[in-house]
Structure 1
Amino acid sequence: MVLLVLGALTLDVSLVVFRVDRVAVALPEGPGTTWVLVGLDSRAALPEGASVEDFGSTDEVRGSRADVVLIVHDSGEHTSAFSVSRDVVVSRRASPGRLALSWLDGPQSTVDALCGLGVAADHLVAVDLAGFAAVVDAAGGLDVDVPEPVRDRLAGLELPAAGPRHVDGATALAMVRSRHPEHLVGGKWVAAPEDPDGRATTAGTVVSALSGAVDSARWRPWRLQSLAWAASGALTVDTGTSTGELLALAGTELDEVEVLPVGEAVDGTLARFPTDATSSALDAAGMSCG
């Protein structure tokens, strides 16, 4: 019986490992260990039950952009986590461009762009829209605090009450994708004040909540297996990252994800340039590249 159980577990682990997609990228050298986590906005794989009308088709929205970028850095003494604005200007094919657009040229372009910013990626992990929602659902949903009622019809977000909420994968994805939120004021929905860091802040909040959900799953084997199966089918990882390293990342507690400071948008555009505060934050975390 023991041999049968061990055999079944080995088969399950083998299948999980086999399901992870791999991508070859040249990773730069830098101090400590740095994970780059990228949420892609490709319309090729939509969340279960989602309609093309809500997200747009692959003809309407071509390719994949780095919609969410998070950095987790272990200096050996402490762990730092940053949510990076998708609109920060980086070097893209020797010319400036927004970080979000770097993935259109492939994952290597994003890795190189981040190196120019001062982030040396040791590991690269990417997940698409459908994969993110599936992982959240496999984790049993997320516990988040909603500071005030919010909705965003374009993103499919509808949270009409403030306070602690348990959200599913579709709602968590809508929170991260929201660009035009509205708040309930005096019984009426009004446009929320513009916040350039709003999406980066929300992404950090959601990922922190997901980290907590993953940590809780350790004590529920059935939940852990479901989570591992969903994640393995959702992730694209660089070829040099081992399964053990992925497990170590999953065990990292992200109590706080800071928004990496960058400049204000330039002349009514989306573009935001790195500042001295950007370099200072990365230096304080012990990061550098090149």
Structure 2
Amino acid sequence: MTPSSTTDAGQDSPGRRPPRSRAVRWALAVTAALVLLTVVDLAVLAGRVDRVAVSTTTGPGTTWVLVGLDSRAVLPAGASAEQFGTTDDVPGARADVVLVVHSDGDGTTVLSVPRDLVLTAGETSGRLALSWLDGPQATVDSLCGLGIPTDHLVSVDLAGFAEIVDATGGLAVDVPAPVRDPAAGLELTEAGLQQVDGRTALAMVRSRHPEQLVGGRWVPAPVDPDGRASAAGQVVDALVDRVQGTLTRPWELQRVAWAATGALTADEGTSARDLAALATWDLGPVTVLPVGDPVDDTLLRFPSPATADVIAAAGMSCAG
């Protein structure tokens, strides 16, 4: 009997790999394209982040310092100089909001540091907010004197913050009572959970003299020296929720990443990958760092024993 010239089913010539199916080839092509796009995307996004030269400090774990600046050089879209003032009225930039994010590998602590806290750097001392007038390094050094290291430093101005919030689609915040602050551009006439845009979120963070609606009349809200730090914590909590919600929606994540990288300034050692990794951290609630009460009728506040206790409990110390 003449041997058959056909190959048995399921067999192939020795030394030849079976041809890949069209679906497998398609999947590999898509995967390769996504990897390429991710690399290109990170490169493009990294190029959008402004850089500042600063000597970072070290300590246990990893610590990010996030600073909201009040520079009037660029105002939020639609905002007027009458509301915010000009660079002639308010020259320079102050550290209006300072958030510290620390991870020890097992958990994460997020602290909102009061801007009027008096800190010492070398032979000089002054309010944390004013330290930025001497440059980012002065702020990093002042925090180090308190025991807070800075592995990564990131700042954002007024316009950039509002733009990031708008890119997320706005924030859901819970307003206990109707509140307004004309000087900050804040006016929320209803209480309860509501969606706010970037300019309103910014106004909540900047408000220093809020008024509440009581019995149909606007009256000054009870004085709270931690009011701005608390508001910053609430807004950042909501912002983190929105940003992390986009991680499963790439089309939204791209929009937020584009806005954020165009708005942020970071130290030279912080990469786009570092920023992307921070967005995935489980940050938890923002806690206002406890400090002493205001001195007499001034804004000045000094560290208290509770300040050192909270920093130590978080696992932070600064080696300089």
Q: TM-score, normalised by structure 2?
A: 0.88
Structure 1 residue 172 displacement after superposition: 0.3
Q: Please tell me whether the aligned partners of residues 110 and 284 of structure 2 are also in contact (alpha carbons under 8 angstroms).
A: no
* 1:281 matched to 2:281: no
Structure 1 residue 17 displacement after superposition: 1.1
Aligned-partner Cα distance in 1 for 2:288–2:196? 23
CA deviations on 1:40-74 (whole Å, 9 max, x unpaired) are 00000110111111000001100000000000000
Q: Please tell me whether the aligned partners of residues 108 and 284 of structure 2 are also in contact (alpha carbons under 8 angstroms).
A: no
Please point out which of 248, 252, 257 is paired with 1:219: 248
Please tell me whether Structure 1 or Structure 2 has the larger radius of gyration of its CA atoms: 2
- Secondary structure of 1:203's counterpart equals helix
- Secondary structure of 1:175's counterpart equals helix
- Secondary structure of 1:224's counterpart equals helix
Q: Please tell me whether the aligned partners of residues 121 and 145 of structure 2 are also in contact (alpha carbons under 8 angstroms).
A: no
Structure 1 residue 14 displacement after superposition: 2.4
Structure 1 residue 253 displacement after superposition: 2.7
Aligned-partner Cα distance in 2 for 1:74–1:114? 17
Please point out which of 98, 101, 112 is paired with 2:127: 98
- Structure 2, unmatched stretches of 5+, are 1-28
- Secondary structure of 1:218's counterpart equals helix
- Structure 1, unmatched stretches of 5+, are none
Q: Please tell me whether the aligned partners of residues 149 and 159 of structure 1 are also in contact (alpha carbons under 8 angstroms).
A: yes
1:91-240 matched pairs, under 5 angstroms: 91-92=120-121, 94-240=123-269
Aligned-partner Cα distance in 1 for 2:308–2:79? 40
* 1:36 matched to 2:73: no
Q: Which residue of 1 aligns with 2:104?
A: 75
Aligned-partner Cα distance in 2 for 1:50–1:7? 39
CA deviations on 1:92-124 (whole Å, 9 max, x unpaired) are 562220000000000000000000011011110
Q: Which residue of 2 aligns with 1:64?
A: 93
243 and 13 in structure 1: CA distance in 2 versus 1, 3 angstrom threshold = closer
Structure 1 residue 89 displacement after superposition: 0.1
Q: Please tell me whether the aligned partners of residues 68 and 84 of structure 1 are also in contact (alpha carbons under 8 angstroms).
A: yes
Aligned-partner Cα distance in 2 for 1:215–1:102? 31
Q: Please tell me whether the aligned partners of residues 212 and 253 of structure 1 are also in contact (alpha carbons under 8 angstroms).
A: no
CA deviations on 1:131-172 (whole Å, 9 max, x unpaired) are 000000001111111111101111111111111011110100
For structure 1, which segment, 137-146 or 243-252, has the greater mean C-alpha deviation from structure 2 after superposition?
A: 243-252
Aligned-partner Cα distance in 2 for 1:17–1:32? 24
CA-based RMSD of the aligned residues comes to 1.4
* Count of residues in correspondence between the two structures: 290
Aligned-partner Cα distance in 2 for 1:254–1:41? 25
Q: TM-score, normalised by structure 1?
A: 0.96
Aligned-partner Cα distance in 2 for 1:289–1:12? 34
Aligned-partner Cα distance in 1 for 2:316–2:268? 23
Q: Supply the AA of the counterpart residue of 1:284.
A: A
Q: Which residue of 1 aligns with 2:113?
A: 84
- Secondary structure of 2:193's counterpart equals strand
Structure 1 residue 8 displacement after superposition: 5.4
